[in-house]
Chains A and B, each alone.
Chain A
Amino acid sequence: MSLIRKTAAELASMIAAGEVSSVEVAEAHLDRMAEVEPKVKAFLHVDRETTIEQAQAVDTRLRAGEKLGPLAGVPIAHKDIFTTRDMPTTAASKILEGWRPPYDATVTKRLREAGLVILGKTNLDEFAMGSSTENSAFHPTRNPWDLTKVPGGSSGGSSAAVAAYEAPLSTGTDTGGSIRQPASVTGIVGMKPTYGGSSRYGLIAFASSLDTPGPFARNVLDAALLQEAFSGHDPMDSTSIDAPVPSVVEAARNADVAGMRIGVLKEFGGEGFQPGVLARYNETVQLLESLGAKVVEVSCPSFTVALYAYYLVAPSECSSNLARFDAMRYGLRAGDDGTRSAEEVMALTRAAGFGPEVKRRIMLGTYALSSGYYDAYYGQAQKVRTVISREFEAAYQQVDVLVSPTTPTTAFAIGERVDDPMAMYLADLCTIPSNLAGNAAISVPCGLAEEDGLPVGLQIMAPVLADDRCYRVGAAVEQALESRWGGPLLKEAPSL
């Protein structure tokens, strides 16, 4: 089997055993990228030379007997929203085109130290705002399962790269579903860790109280290995949790749900859900029951308005977070003809540098925070946030995890929803509650929808700091389904 088809864990042990070098693994992936990138367009920045240099350095360190992390030598693709010292970082925005950060994000820094090799920076919806990666200022990314479909978003470059075997692992960020939804529609595993479990330092902020870095991989164990490699307390992020966490890698190796209580969310599964999605979802719930889990129906009535609370909280924070892009210290400067004022140049630059979705959300957030509207919009949304957290807490009194489809539909067509923001926002319906409550949640593949043959994802949600439960249930589902399918779901994907 070629190197690109191997799991990250397999690659790591081959590299550790000296069967293959990090450089060879990196080259295999770079070659794959050269072959399929024209079709998939998952990356914004690839720099073969820098990648090979990094791989050589890791090989040297390994040969010198240095003890690196369990993923040492394995290549990775980073969502282009994490700062990287040696590569540009743009958040897929014209306003940051060509910007080279003088510092590494904690996630990129830790993975560098653990010996992972950066293949490049992946595409995203501009500043992570979107569910399709069509909002990238540079180009849309395509779903490897069907090049006319979106790869999800905002971390669509990262999901597509992993699904297209361009990278065994990638990083993403999840603010309202931006890891789980792309993972779901590309047939891979994507995890949103507990908020505060992974550091936001160096992650270009969209909505600070929601943004969470997380892993993409083609299987549950790889995702767990990656999460463990970059997670943990970071003093540079004041919202980072300084507490011991259960091992997610151990959980991913313990695929046993016997005796676990699993809550089926009543609110997610009726109207607006694609029948093929519901069919796969319901089968998977039955599968869990057959594996010895106790399945009960749970109701969290306010989850249906979570979407609306999210579209107030996230834009409000983004309107403030994106104020720093003002043409004064870095990035684009437009309209500076020597006569215009700073104020005018700021407004012209921001008009030229931000795409329509970003402008829409900035204005929506500005509105929600304005005096006279604050209480009805931002203030009320924050209260709804509390209500949602309480409903989660009540549910977790009865069950260990909650499940739902990750998305109401499979991947939609490129261009289908660009002119209808509310339709686009609905893609995050099921994923948003976990962001509002800071909970952990994972998406694992659970089959293909009958109608379109596209991947369906199962979302498994767990309480704060119970990320291990997501991995444990996810691993059980994966093991049972793969034995039924005779291998991973991705083997069904058409060759590119």
Chain B
Amino acid sequence: MTMVYDEALDAFEPVLGLETHVELGTRSKMFCGCKTTFGAPPNTQVCPTCLALPGALPTANTMAIESTIRIGLALNCSIAEWCRFARKNYFYPDMPKNYQISQYDEPLCFDGYVDVEVDGKTVRIEIERVHLEEDTGKSTHVGGATGRIHGADYSIVDYNRAGIPLVEIVTKPIPGTDRLAPEVARAYVTELREIMRSLGVSDVRMEEGSLRCDVNVSLMPRGASEWGTRTETKNVNSLRSVERAVRSEIERQAGVLTDGGKIVQETRHFHEDTGTTTSGRSKEEAQDYRYFPEPDLVPIAPDPDWVAELKAALPELPSVRRKRLQDEWGLSDLDMQAMHNADAIDLVEATVAAGAPPADARKWWMGELARRANETGTPLADLPITPADIARVTELVASGALNDKLAREVLEGVLAGEGTPDEVVEKRGLQIVNDEGELSAIIDQVLADNADAADKVRSGKIAAAGALVGGVMRASKGKADAARARQLILEKLGVSE
């Protein structure tokens, strides 16, 4: 039986480990000149080398090596003075050579760290290594009930993706995260993604597979000093899934251990639909990858001057940028972290750049839009609305052309594809009622309909004016300027605040 998360954490402490694969956005593949365009027609971006035709040889892409070193530097790693590619040997139809050119005991970058903020605390994630390898092709499983690998009649393979440069970033074991393990895992992957973006080395789209994550989890009883057996959950393909996979695996392992069972060291698969993991492959025999130095490629010995230049030219890293923006925007740590967690910083920054005050930009993205994103399960950035749209809406509010309620309607219209904010205002007739005569007539009617309330206000109970303003707003279908309405009501009743 799986255990409830809180109970699991009462009894056990988790140790995490994360292996993240990032597809680099180079123009050509890692070891040949084929294009790397996502979604190209099948087998149109293949050549003798990436199809592993007899006789073909690899040649290493200098940009991929540069990008890997830059990633290593951004993660505070040491850069190898001398290292080699190695062959990882195993048979799989996705992998044309039946070995993957990777790196083994000599990674290009090693011993780094990255700090992430979780729950107001800074957690340092130590990086074991950053190495360069190549991606595999893509199989489609045909026949069978589910289109999944099990039960399929046969598969068809497209090798366009085979040979795209892949950087693998491996953390050291992460103890001490305690109850925050799932959040730490998510925060780490989020941070990596932002670092990759700021470096411009990858488009890091988890849904397209250009950022993929394997999550290692083990549990040890509270107070124990020896770590437990770990499982490796493969291909966790969204930030939310990273968090869920850790949580679910903690619950599962705690259940097994509490029932007196043993954790099997194995590969597991995460299922988006159920939010749980299942055992991957029952291995008849342990994998033996028979790594050896790749004889077709010569060792890499990065020139220290070159590495120093790359280091000097690194862009402002996301954590530094966040600190700067937080100061500029005058936000609290918690507000900033919430924005970070919601993936809203870029959007807010762009909205501010488009002319909106930081507080307003934050309010919209973290309020109405975050709610909407959450409801529809869409990443914030993928909502059909631009920072410029938000900036325009805040401008309309500031000028008094819209109030908050109308502004929300405008956003709804934009999200519904009705056009720009100005077009939505026009189409839906959402201008605020600025015509004093019209407003005055509405107020007179409301006062007449609510004589009791009006009397109360006249007698000095100014708080009762709220109900009258509400009446005006209802009568105007929200288009009245509430502040102005209140002002007029008080004038008409001969009282002042």
Contacts and interface: CB of A to CB of B under 8 A. Distances in A.
Interface of A: 82-83, 89, 91, 96, 99, 101-103, 105, 200-205, 207-209, 235-239, 316-317, 319-320, 323-326, 328-330, 338, 342-343, 346, 366, 369-371, 374, 378
B56 interface: yes
Interface in B388-422: none
18 contacts: A103-B48, A200-B57, A205-B54, A208-B295, A238-B57, A238-B59, A238-B297, A239-B297, A317-B292, A323-B89, A323-B91, A324-B96, A324-B98, A330-B53, A342-B155, A366-B290, A369-B89, A371-B290
A208 B58 CA distance: 12
B87 interface: yes
Contacts, number: 103
Interface string B47-68: 0100111111111100000000
A235 B53 contact: no
Interface string B152-193: 011101010000000000000000000000000000000000
B57 A329 contact: no
Contacts of A329: 51-53, 96, 159
Interface in B285-324: 288, 290-292, 295-298
A259 to B, nearest CB: 36
Contact of A378 (B48, B51, B89, B292): B292
B460 interface: no
A76 B475 CA distance: 97
B97 interface: yes
Contacts of B91: 323, 326, 343, 346
B99 interface: yes
Interface in B77-117: 87, 89, 91, 93, 96-99
A209 B295 contact: yes
Contacts of B295: 207-209, 239, 317
Contacts of A320: 87, 89, 99, 290, 292
Nearest to A82: B55
Q: Which of A91, A202, A343 has the most CB of B within 10 A?
A: A202
Contacts of A204: 54-55
Given A201-B57, A202-B55, A326 B98 contact: yes
In the complex, the 6 A-B pairs of residues with the closest C-beta atoms, listed nearest first: A323-B98, A369-B290, A208-B295, A209-B295, A202-B55, A324-B52
A201 B56 contact: yes
Contact of A238 (B54, B97, B298): B298
Given A317-B295, A323-B91, 12 more contacts: A91-B54, A202-B56, A208-B296, A209-B295, A238-B58, A238-B296, A238-B298, A239-B296, A320-B87, A320-B290, A325-B54, A329-B52
Contacts of B96: 324, 328-329
Interface of B: 48, 51-60, 87, 89, 91, 93, 96-99, 153-155, 157, 159, 288, 290-292, 295-298
B54 A96 contact: yes
A324 B97 contact: yes
A interface SS class: loop
Nearest to A350: B91
B59 A235 contact: yes
Contacts of A319: 89, 290
Nearest to A339: B153
Given A103-B48, A238-B296, A239-B296, A205 B55 contact: yes
Contacts of B159: 329
Contact of B55 (A203, A317, A325, A369): A203
Contacts of B53: 83, 101-103, 329-330
Nearest to B46: A329
Nearest to A96: B54
Contacts of B57: 200-201, 236-238
A42 B48 CA distance: 28
Nearest to A369: B290
A323 B296 contact: no
Contacts of A83: 53-55
Contacts of A323: 89, 91, 97-99
Contacts of A326: 91, 93, 98
B136 to A, nearest CB: 12
Contacts of B51: 329
A203 B96 CA distance: 18
Given A320-B290, A329-B96, A239 B55 contact: no
Contacts of B54: 83, 89, 91, 96, 99, 101, 204-205, 324-325, 330
Nearest to B289: A371
Given A201-B57, A208-B296, A320-B292, A328 B97 contact: no
A180 B113 CA distance: 54
B264 to A, nearest CB: 20
Contacts of B290: 319-320, 366, 369-371, 374
Nearest to B94: A328
Contacts of B60: 238
Q: Which of A200, A239, A324, A371 has the most CB of B within 10 A?
A: A324
B52 A369 contact: no
Contact of A369 (B97, B155, B157, B292): B292
Contacts of A208: 295-296
Contacts of A102: 48, 53
B328 to A, nearest CB: 48
Contacts of A370: 288, 290
A103 B55 CA distance: 10
A203 B53 CA distance: 11
A374 B291 CA distance: 9
Contacts of A101: 48, 53-55
Q: Which of A82, A202, A209, A323 has the most CB of B within 10 A?
A: A323
B27 to A, nearest CB: 17
A103 B288 CA distance: 34
Contact of B157 (A82, A200, A238, A328): A328
B339 to A, nearest CB: 46
A103 B59 CA distance: 17
Contacts of B298: 238-239
A319 B89 CA distance: 9
Contacts of B59: 235-238
B29 to A, nearest CB: 14
A103 to B, nearest CB: 5
Nearest to A330: B53
A237 B57 CA distance: 6
Contacts of B55: 82-83, 89, 101, 105, 201-205
B320 to A, nearest CB: 38
B100 to A, nearest CB: 11
Contacts of A338: 153-154
A200 to B, nearest CB: 6
Question: A102, A238, A326, A371 — which one has the most chain B CB atoms within 10 A of its CB?
Answer: A238
Contacts of B89: 319-320, 323, 369
A329 B297 CA distance: 24
Contacts of B98: 323-324, 326
A240 to B, nearest CB: 9
A328 B58 contact: no
Contacts of A328: 93, 96, 157
A343 B99 CA distance: 15
Contacts of A378: 292
Nearest to A325: B54
A82 B55 CA distance: 7
A195 to B, nearest CB: 11
B362 to A, nearest CB: 51
Contacts of A96: 54
A103 B99 CA distance: 22
Contacts of A237: 57, 59
A374 B292 CA distance: 9
A124 to B, nearest CB: 13
A325 B99 CA distance: 12
A351 to B, nearest CB: 14
Nearest to B294: A208
A356 to B, nearest CB: 20
